[in-house]
Amino acid sequence: MEILKKTIVTVALYLLPAVIVNAQDAKVLQAAFSSSYTHEANAEYSKAIETLKGVYTADSYELNLRLGWLHYLSGLFTESSTYYNKAISLMPYAIEARFGVVYPEAALGNWDKVKNHYLEILKVDGSNTLANYRLGLIYYGKEDYNAAIKCFEKNVNLYPFDYDSVLMFAWTNFKLGKTREAKVLFNKVLLIKPGDTSAIDGLSLIK
Amino acid sequence: MRRILLIAVFFGFLAAKGQDTLNFAAIDQKTYDLYLKADWKGVLRYAKPAFKKDIDYFYLRMRAGIAYYSLGKFMKAIPHFKKALSFNADDALAMEYLYYSYLFSGRTADALAMTNELPQSLKEKLGLVKKKFITGTYAEAGPIITDAADEIDGIDLNSEPDIHGEVETPESGLYVHAGLFLRFSPKVSSYQGFGNVGQDVMQYFYNRPLATPGLPTPPTVEINETYKLKQNEYYGSVSWRAANGLTISPFLHAASATYKKFVGLSPGKRGPINNYAEFRRNCLYAGIGFRKFAGPLSFNGNAMMIKNPDGRSLQVGLGFTWYPLNNTKMYLSPFWSTTSANAEDPNIIDVSAGIQVFKRVWVDGGYTFGALQNYAENNAFLIYNSSDRIINKIRAGMLFITGKFEFSLRWQFTVHEDNYLTVLVPGDGQVEVPFKYNNQNIIGGIKWKF
């Protein structure tokens, strides 16, 4: 029993420095994050980045995610994309990093990557309305109305009174020649947002 | 020590500056500003090191591609537009630039292969909506001029001690060819053509039989006349765009020459009669060729089987074309062939070069040396199936392109080697004496793209 006590004390003594170091690290990290928020609020993005780079470790999801965002804000899109992608590789099933990386990728014009990130998000969370809506918009912009309507339809089923989704669903129906459905949907948009010019434009094209 | 420190500081400053200028924001801003100013070389000065540093995105690829395109370096623009499309596969502007970059790089097959991927609006803009089966036509014709008769002038074939002499020399002729360009699908096209060569051939035949004791001596025969040689030809090739930059082309050239000439005396009821015989000489050239574009180079080659009355042979060729300006304004094209038809001298080397001299005018020239007999070039579009051997060939040409038409004028000078035959009194045997003569072909061509 005495031996057991001794062993526990010995192990505790050995572990103590590591615990103290981790506690110190956590405090340093928290201070760096806190400072970065202050810099960000003051639009001092370079300073915010420098602060986080001082405590950077490549295997930290949080640091990579935050650096991705700050680089995006400072207009360094390729660097932003690199940090976001590191975050994605660290936590492949997290969708927030993918929602982050689409900003710099879109700014770089890499729309295929943007589309793929939304598709990956939908693999994890098939009913994600933001991903569905934005993916629908990409398809709509590329005149792929058959793909677009599936995205908008899913959103409208989940949120029948959502202005953006109902409006885009209406326009996509119109583009596919489904004028009867489009008319009903444009009128529904006018219930959500009376006097909406886009819906009125749509209805004028049907009449 | 102080100087070293200063240099170190200076280089440190440069390195720091170099790092600063190679971040995304600086590259993006700089290339965008230079792009707006149409400073294409400036765009590339910043874009190239950026790509090496993995600063690589759609807009930068577009700027680099448009910079090369605007500098007329279409072959260098291609990979940038392809990369841009890998970032944004549906971008119509990148597609349009890539389409024209292919066309202006001479990569028509790659341009056409894109057709299915283009959005409808771009197809309409590029005039690719209507699918045509017959996409164009080509015709060429020209005279064949020879000095063969002059070369044998003065050769004595009918004096003692000769008892026999024979020679055949070509005279003037005419070559015509016409064909159609067909398209089966965006990746498969074909050319089908027919041609004819008509040429006069002068035949001299002398025979002085020796007297046989106790028998009447047959008469001496001396024929000096011209016969007509007609050759009908078919040429067909299929061009399959197998992969990006790679075209594979099976081809077939069939030629059938007919002529009727004097072959000697035959015994007749009322004495010997002149005997003529009809000859048919069929030749077949069948094979497969390829062309692969890689940057400013295109590699090409072919392998073909040749069958004619002389037997069967195999010809293999490999070469490349170098476009030093990354467009079709200038090229140099060596090509090596080897043929089993001539075991003693199997290698044939062809070198050609061309340059654009005016906006719509190209001139080109070439030299071929080796034994051009039972030989074919340009995927067997041109065949050399004469019984004479060609030992040298020089050519020059001019091409004028305007709208849907291409006009060409080609001159070809060939040095031929033939034999005349003499037979001396029995015991001395027959002697084949070689002589050379020159041919000139002047061929005008019209290509009309529908």
- DSSP code, position B117: G
Is B20 or A26 the better-scoring residue by pLDDT? A26
**CA separation, residue B178 to residues B52, B143, B184, B197, B381 (Å):** 51, 15, 20, 12, 12
The CA distance from B409 to B397, in Å, is 6
Please determine, for residue B139, whether its predicted confidence score (pLDDT) is greater than 90: yes
User: pLDDT digit string (tens) for B414-445?
Assistant: 999 888 877 776 666 777 888 889 999 999 99
What is the share, in percent, of chain B residues with pLDDT greater than 90?
Answer: 60
The distance of A43 to chain B (nearest Cα, Å) reads 16
Q: State whether B25 and A142 contact (CB < 8 Å).
A: no
**Dihedral angle sign, alpha carbons of residues B239, B326, B382, B380:** negative
**pLDDT tens-digit readout, B305-353:** 999 888 899 999 999 999 999 999 999 999 999 999 888 889 999 999 9
Beta-carbon contacts of B105 under 8 Å, excluding residues fewer than 6 positions away, are B74, B75, B78, B293, B323, B326, B327, B328
- Assess if CATH 2.40.160.60 describes domain B134-449: yes
| pLDDT above 50 (res B269) | yes
pLDDT tens-digit profile of B46-68? 999 999 988 899 999 999 999 99
Backbone torsions φ then ψ of B90, nearest 5 degrees: -105, 10
The percent of residues above 70 in pLDDT, for chain A, comes to: 88
Residue A1 has pLDDT above 80, yes or no: no
pLDDT in tens, A36-52: 999 999 999 999 999 99
Average pLDDT over residues B406-415: 95
Residue of B nearest to A80 (CA): B24
Contacts with A82 (C-beta within 8 Å, 6 or more apart), sequence order: A68
Q: What is the mean pLDDT of chain B?
A: 88
Residues of B in contact with A110 (CB under 8 A): 57-58, 87-88
**pLDDT for the residue numbered B23:** 79
Model confidence pLDDT, tens digit, residues B83-128: 999 999 889 999 999 999 999 999 999 999 998 888 888 888 888 8
Per-residue pLDDT at A205 exceeds 60: yes
Interface of A with B (CB under 8 A): 74-79, 108-113, 142-143
Q: Give the pLDDT band (50/70/90) at residue B211.
A: confident
Instruction: For residue B420, list its beta bridge partners.
Output: B433
pLDDT band at B222 (very low <50, low <70, confident <90, very high): confident
Q: Which of B58, B60, B85, B95 to mutate to test the interface with A (most CBs of A within 10 A)?
A: B58
Residue A12: pLDDT band (50, 70, 90) is low
| pLDDT value for B313 | 92
Going by pLDDT thresholds of 50, 70 and 90, the confidence category of residue B196 is very high
The percent of residues in chain B predicted with pLDDT above 70, rounded, is: 92
CA quadruple A4, A5, A9, A10: dihedral sign: negative
Give the integer Cα–Cα distance in Å for B121 and A174: 19
Average of per-residue pLDDT across A127-133 = 95
Asked whether the predicted pLDDT for residue B13 surpasses 80, the reply is no
Local confidence band at B15 (pLDDT 50, 70, 90 cut-offs): very low
Q: How far apart are CA B227 and CA B199, in angstroms?
A: 9
Counted across chains A and B, CB pairs separated by less than 8 A come out at 46
| Structural tokens at position A21 | 């170091």
**0.90 surpassed by complex ipTM:** no
Mean pLDDT of A56-83: 93
In the predicted model, what is the mean pLDDT of residues B276-291? 93
Radius of gyration of chain A (CA): 25
Q: Residue B216's pLDDT band (boundaries 50, 70, 90)?
A: confident
- Cα–Cα distances (Å) from B266 to B162, B276, B421, in that order, read 21, 10, 21
Q: Which residue has the tokens 């993995």?
A: B54
Instruction: Supply B335's token pair.
Output: 């090509």
Residue B161: is the preceding peptide bond cis (ω within 30°)?
A: yes
CA B190 – CA B207 distance, rounded (Å): 52
Q: What pLDDT, on the 0 to 100 scale, is given for residue B2?
A: 43
Alpha helices, H only, A55-110: 61-73, 77-90, 96-107
Instruction: Answer yes or no: CATH 1.25.40.10 is held by domain B2-126.
Output: yes
Q: What domains lie within chain A, and their CATH numbers? A: 145-207 (1.25.40.10)
The span from the CA of B444 to the CA of B175, in Å, is 10
Query: Using a CB-CB distance cutoff of 8 angstroms, which residues of chain A are in contact with residue B62?
Result: 109
Count CA atoms within 13 Å of residue B431 on its CB side. Answer: 14
CB-count burial class (<10 Å; 0-12, 13-18, 19+) for A94: middle
Identity of residue A84: Y
Q: Which residue has the higher pLDDT, B300 or B386?
A: B300
Interchain pair B88, A111: CB under 8 A: yes
**Where residue B6 falls among pLDDT bands split at 50, 70, 90?**
very low
Which token pair is B305?
Answer: 């089987």
pLDDT given for residue A119 in this prediction: 96
The answer to whether the Cβ–Cβ distance between B57 and A142 falls below 8 Å is no
- In eight-state DSSP terms, residue B156 is -
Residue B274 near residue B265, CB atoms below 8 Å: yes
- Res A100: pLDDT: 96
Predicted confidence at residue B120, as pLDDT, reads 82
CA distance A92 to chain B (A): 21
With CA atoms as reference, the chain B residue closest to A111 would be B88
Binned at pLDDT 50, 70 and 90, residue A29 comes out as: very high
- Listing DSSP states for B340-406 in one string gives TT-SSS-EEEEEEEEEEEETTEEEEEEEEEEEESSEEETTTTEEE--SSEEEEEEEEEEEEEETTEE
Q: Which residue of B has its CA nearest to A75?
A: B25
What is residue B211's DSSP assignment?
P
Region A183-192: mean pLDDT is: 96
Q: Does the structure show a pLDDT above 60 at B380?
A: yes
The confidence score (pLDDT) of residue A23 equals: 65
Share of chain A above pLDDT 90, in %: 81
Residue appearing with tokens 């623009």? B77
Residue B219 DSSP symbol: P
pLDDT band at B14; cut points 50, 70, 90:
very low
Which tens digits make up the pLDDT trace of B172-193? 899 999 999 999 999 999 999 9
- What pLDDT, on a 0 to 100 scale, did the predictor assign at position B156? 76
3-class SS of residue B148: helix
Judged by average pLDDT, the poorest of A50-54, B159-163, B276-280 is B159-163
List CB contacts (< 8 A) between A142 and chain B: 90
Long-range contacts of residues A87-90, Cβ cutoff 8 Å, at least 24 apart: A87/A61, A90/A59, A90/A60, A90/A61, A90/A64
Averaged pLDDT of chain A: 90
Q: Nearest residue on chain A to B118, judged by CA atoms?
A: A142
Token pair listed for B28:
């993006």
Residue B121, pLDDT score: 84
Whether the predicted pLDDT of B232 surpasses 50: yes
- Range from A53-57, A148-152, B270-274 carrying the lowest mean pLDDT: B270-274
Cβ of B25 within 8 Å of Cβ of A113? The answer is: no
Check whether B160 has a pLDDT greater than 80. no
> Beta partners for B200?
B228
Name the minimum distance, in Å, from the CA of A112 to any CA of chain B. 5
Question: Rounded to an integer, what distance in angstroms lies between the CA atom of residue A119 and that of residue A136?
Answer: 11
| Residue B268 pLDDT greater than 70, yes or no | no
Domain range list for chain B: 2-126, 134-449
Query: What is the spatial distance between Cα B139 and Cα A48, in angstroms, rounded to a whole number?
Result: 72
Lowest mean pLDDT among A27-41, A178-192, B4-18, B132-146: B4-18
Positions of E strands within B94-163: 134-146
**Binning pLDDT at 50, 70 and 90, where does residue A200 land?**
very high
Looking at the DSSP bridge assignments, the partners of residue B275 are B264
Determine which of A85, A112, A140 to mutate to test the interface with B (most B C-beta atoms within 10 Å): A112
Residue B8 is predicted with a pLDDT of 38
Residue A89 has pLDDT above 90, yes or no: yes
Which parts of A110-194 are beta strand (E)? Answer: none
Q: Are A71 and A80 in contact (CB under 8 A)?
A: yes
